[in-house]
């Protein structure tokens, strides 16, 4: 671009038709005279006001789309658009500028964060010019422009056609503003507009990825680690610590998950106990063998107060399993023991619960389904 071109360019108009050349002029111009006294040589010049005004324009459009006029007066909407929109525009400027700088690197972008911020800010110019459309819109439609229902417009075909015309014009400006943004970003990053599009798409995927990862992290139950295995802790349960288990007649490698809230004040707190059954060996015990399963049931139900209710063979995600049901002879205590073979070892899952708390059995099944043999690194 020649020096005369630089002196004669007006970014407020030229950015509509020559966005890349205009963006380069903004980034490179070094003589603060005439219009350049406003733009200046620094890419940071005017970026904050432009971002704030662009944010206001977006906020007004969003208020109209959401029908905020159903809930708030025009002055309330205007206050929200000016204060919230301006703040949102400034936040978008700095956060978006930083993110777009990073996402431009895989596409071989070389622009600085300041240059990218300039592109973000100056690409608001078409949207800012579109603010002028609000003058006739408010004059014609009044508060209804912000409302979900527009009875006066619906009753007047002329107003309806005018509304359609303004809507088409705003869509056209929005589309072209996006094209201008891509061109400005491309110039700031020194690559093509197509790469600018790829960089923008990648930047848009980041908050989506963060949201998905956060949702997964929130929804994923914590992991309880035993000696050589892991299980997930379902909602409503917690893993007892070694200090809490001190003195308990349990194997040292056992994981104990305790119900946090009782079914009722009279119900006892349910639990799930998972551990390797050292007394059983795969060469002696086959969970798919009914006779051996019944023998195990007779053994575990031999404890005082226990009564064997049922022995069954069930299919689980860990394979064929031996399942033993026991109840107490004196209270509402019930237990479901499931024995499975994994990694040539016998593992047992004992779910102790109140007979009135049948919902707890689903937590037991979830623990069983989540069982994994831990690798050397995990253990």
* Of 96 and 228, the one with more pLDDT: 96
Closest CA to 255 of 242, 268, 265: 242
pLDDT at 325 over 80: yes
Closest CA to 229 of 367, 26, 355: 367
pLDDT at 1: 47
Percent of the chain with pLDDT over 90: 39
Closest CA to 118 of 44, 181, 64, 207: 44
pLDDT at 215 over 60: yes
Over residues 277-295, the mean pLDDT reads 83
Residue that the structure tokens 């848009």 belong to: 204
* Of 164 and 152, the one with more pLDDT: 164
Contacts with 375 (C-beta within 8 Å, 6 or more apart), sequence order: none
Kindly report, residue by residue over 46-70, the tens digit of the pLDDT: 889 999 999 999 999 888 888 888 8
Exposure b/e, 306-339, CB count within 10 A at least 16 = b? eebeebeeeebebeebbbbbbbeeeeebbbbbbb
pLDDT at 304 over 80: no
pLDDT at 330 over 70: yes
pLDDT at 94 over 90: yes
Helical pair 47-66 and 74-91, crossing angle rounded to 10 deg:
130
pLDDT at 311 over 70: yes
Rounded Cα–Cα distance for residues 313 and 376 (Å):
32
**Environment class of 343 (CB within 10 Å of its CB; exposed 0-12, middle 13-18, buried 19+):** exposed
Report which DSSP code applies to 236. T
| Residue 39 pLDDT level (bands cut at 50, 70, 90) | very low
pLDDT at 69: 83
Supply the pTM of this predicted model: 0.58
pLDDT at 376 over 50: no
15 close to 50: Cβ distance less than 8 angstroms: no
260 close to 237: Cβ distance less than 8 angstroms: yes
Kindly report, residue by residue over 345-374, the tens digit of the pLDDT: 889 999 988 888 878 888 899 999 999 987
pLDDT at 375: 65
Over residues 293-314, the mean pLDDT reads 83
Report the SS3 class of residue 356: coil
Q: What value does the mean pLDDT of the chain take? A: 85
pLDDT at 36: 44
| Residue 7 pLDDT level (bands cut at 50, 70, 90) | low
Report which DSSP code applies to 107. G
Over residues 26-35, the mean pLDDT reads 60
Over residues 91-101, the mean pLDDT reads 94
Kindly report, residue by residue over 225-251, the tens digit of the pLDDT: 888 889 999 888 999 888 888 777 777
Rounded Cα–Cα distance for residues 367 and 69 (Å):
51
Q: Answer yes or no: CATH 3.10.20.30 is held by domain 223-373.
A: no
List Cα–Cα distances, 51 to 87, 101, 123, in angstroms: 9, 17, 9
| Residue 338 pLDDT level (bands cut at 50, 70, 90) | very high
List Cα–Cα distances, 18 to 21, 67, 234, in angstroms: 5, 36, 59
pLDDT at 263 over 80: no
Report the SS3 class of residue 177: helix
pLDDT at 266: 74
Residue ranges per structural domain of the chain: 3-219, 223-373
Over residues 246-266, the mean pLDDT reads 81
Contacts with 158 (C-beta within 8 Å, 6 or more apart), sequence order: none
End-to-end CA distance of the chain: 66
Report the SS3 class of residue 283: coil
pLDDT at 379: 46
378 close to 225: Cβ distance less than 8 angstroms: yes
Rounded Cα–Cα distance for residues 175 and 177 (Å):
5
Our CA angle for 82, 64, 152, nearest 5°, is 125
């Amino acid at each position: 671009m020649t020096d005369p071109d630089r002196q004669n360019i007006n970014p407020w108009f030229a950015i509509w038709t020559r966005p890349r050349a205009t963006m380069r002029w903004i980034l490179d111009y070094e003589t603060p005279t005439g219009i350049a006294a406003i733009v200046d040589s620094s890419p940071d010049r005017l970026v904050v006001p432009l971002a704030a005004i662009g944010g206001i324009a977006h906020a007004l459009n969003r208020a109209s789309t959401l029908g905020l006029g159903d809930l708030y007066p025009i002055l309330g909407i205007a206050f929200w658009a000016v204060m919230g929109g301006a703040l949102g525009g400034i936040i978008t400027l700095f956060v978006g500028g930083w993110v777009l700088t990073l996402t431009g690197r895989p596409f071989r972008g070389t622009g600085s964060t300041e240059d990218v911020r300039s592109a973000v800010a100056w690409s608001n110019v078409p949207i800012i010019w579109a603010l002028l459309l609000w003058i006739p819109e408010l004059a014609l439609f009044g508060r209804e422009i912000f409302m979900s229902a527009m009875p006066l417009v619906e009753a007047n075909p002329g107003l309806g056609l005018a509304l359609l015309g303004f809507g088409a014009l705003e869509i056209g400006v929005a589309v072209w503003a996006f094209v201008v943004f891509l061109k400005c970003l491309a110039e700031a990053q020194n690559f093509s507009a197509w790469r600018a599009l790829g960089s923008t798409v990648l930047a848009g995927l980041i908050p989506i990825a963060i949201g998905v990862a956060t949702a997964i992290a929130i929804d994923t139950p914590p992991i309880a680690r035993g000696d050589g295995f892991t299980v997930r802790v379902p909602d409503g349960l917690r893993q007892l610590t070694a200090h809490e288990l001190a003195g308990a007649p349990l194997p040292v490698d056992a994981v104990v998950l305790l119900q946090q809230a009782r079914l009722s004040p009279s119900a006892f707190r349910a639990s799930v106990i998972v551990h390797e059954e050292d007394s059983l060996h795969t060469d002696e015990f086959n969970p798919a063998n009914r006779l051996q399963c019944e023998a195990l049931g007779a053994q575990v139900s031999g404890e005082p107060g226990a009564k064997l209710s049922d022995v069954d063979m069930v299919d689980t995600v860990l394979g064929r399993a031996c399942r033993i049901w026991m109840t107490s002879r004196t209270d509402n205590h019930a237990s479901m023991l499931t024995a499975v073979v994994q990694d040539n070892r016998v593992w047992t899952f004992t779910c102790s619960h109140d007979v009135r708390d049948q919902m707890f059995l689903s937590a037991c099944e979830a623990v069983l389904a989540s069982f994994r043999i831990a690798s050397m690194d995990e253990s």
